[in-house]
Amino acid sequence: GDPDVLLLDEPNAGVSSEDVDDIKALIEDVASDHSVLLVEHNMDIVMDVSDRIVVLNQGAVIADDVPENIRGDPDVQEAYLGGYEAGDLQEQRAKRAGEGAEGETA
């Protein structure tokens, strides 16, 4: 059949970065004429493919809005982004990853 809603639970778990891009494109294609309910912990992916985001923390809704507003929501930042906006998250992770690498050689 042709369902009205597609439920995806962590579709990007354990896949390569190339596959993540393909999955994102597939989600966007399906979402053009179907509703998609995406459960995903990778906030960068969520921000890229969503037109509405409902954020849960400990089973409670802490935000329900468009990605642009979710990105700046202080409750979401504290719960999932460690106080950083989504665009800054990768930069902060890279910085932390490099902190222990000084003086090491391969």
Contacts 24+ apart (CB under 8 A), 38-43: 38/8, 38/11, 39/7, 39/8, 39/9, 39/10, 40/8, 40/10, 40/11, 40/12, 41/10, 42/12, 43/80, 43/81, 43/86, 43/89
Q: Cα(29)–Cα(10) distance, rounded to whole angstroms?
A: 18
List the pLDDT tens digit at each of the 106 positions of the chain.
Answer: 788 999 999 999 999 988 999 999 999 999 999 999 999 988 889 999 999 999 998 899 999 999 999 988 999 888 876 665 555 555 655 665 666 555 554 4
5-99: CATH superfamily: P-loop containing nucleotide triphosphate hydrolases (3.40.50.300)
Computed over every residue of the chain, the mean pLDDT equals: 83
**Res 97: pLDDT:** 65
Show me where the domains of the chain are located. 5-99
